[in-house]
Structure 1
Amino acid sequence: MPEPTLTSRRPARKVVMARVLLALCFVGLAAAVLSPSNGLQDHVLRRIGEIAVARRLPFQLVAEQRLEIAANVAIVVPIGALGPLAFPRLRWQDWAAYAFIGAMGVELAQGLLLPDREMSATDVVANTLGATLGAVLVTVGLRAFRARRSG
């Protein structure tokens, strides 16, 4: 009698590509948030604010604190967007929970290990919101695409 073999089910090529891109995003994000502050982030935010004000956007809309929150949302949207593509069995709610846990870990690491950085509850909320936004957008987009394709 032949020995039973385990059939390995390989993920689809697009899933593998999404996982590679997700890993690259994690590496880039880790480098950005876990490196000592060199002032580059502050400079970029100030410059964006100056450009926005020069284009006559209300200062209240582009105040540095609001730009920082928007940047903290935007920096993790790609991770949230790639998550459902890389691991299709997970729901967007799972990605929201993972984002919260990850953001808490990053803020703890920044506060405890990097003397030039501070822990911030606002950053945790913004990062969680960004990843959740990315996951929801992709999940809704995939559902709409599948519905259109099948119907």
Structure 2
Amino acid sequence: MTSSPVTAVRLVAAGLLCGYVLLISAVLLSADQSLPTDVIARTEQALRERGAPDWMTWGDRVQMMLNAFMFAPITALASLAFPRQAWGNWVAYAFLASGAVEVVQAFALEPRSAEYVDVVANTLGGLMGAVVVLPVTAWMRAVNDRRSP
């Protein structure tokens, strides 16, 4: 029996999802703020050097953008690994996971702070990731439906 392209996509996406979630968890659940702070500062600088307008390089906006981009791959990869799940479910899971991270940061990680704007940005990133892969997940479902008796 040969493996379908859908199975290959699902397996690769699941593997990448596991690795990415472990990496992001290590960053988000670390008491050390130096890495996130450094990434924000370097991104601000890179945007300025490339001529981005001032409104785009303001620190809080850069942080919000980075938070969104951090969560987008999670829902994109999860949607590909589990294409039968509705995209809205992945957005809801991103919201819940983001809220859980902020609660841990508020109560268990002394130097870290919890901010509602992070939950908003992460959820928006989750929405972006889930929506971007909709054409691929639709194709995956169609292929599976054709193969099912």
Whether the TM-score (by the shorter chain) exceeds 0.5 is: yes
Q: Paired residue for 1:78? A: 73
1:122: Cα distance to partner?
0.5
Q: Paired residue for 1:19? A: 14
SS at match of 2:84: coil
Count residues in correspondence: 138
Unpaired runs of 5+ in structure 2? Answer: 1-5
RMSD (CA atoms): 2.2
SS at match of 2:57: coil
TM-score, normalising length: structure 1: 0.82
Residue type of the partner of 1:112?
F
Whose Rg is larger? Answer: 1
Question: 1:91-127 CA deviation, whole Å, 9 max, x = no partner?
Answer: 1100011111101100001111001111111111111
1:80: Cα distance to partner?
1.0
Unpaired runs of 5+ in structure 1? Answer: 1-10
Hey, which bits of structure 1, 4+ residues long, moved more than 6 A?
144-147
Give aligned-pair identity as a percent.
34
Q: Paired residue for 1:45? A: 40
SS at match of 1:56: coil
TM-score, normalising length: structure 2: 0.83
1:12: Cα distance to partner?
2.6
Looking at secondary structure, tell me which structure has more helix per residue: 2
Q: In the alignment, is residue 54 of structure 1 matched against residue 49 of structure 2?
A: yes
Moved more, 93-102 or 138-147: 138-147
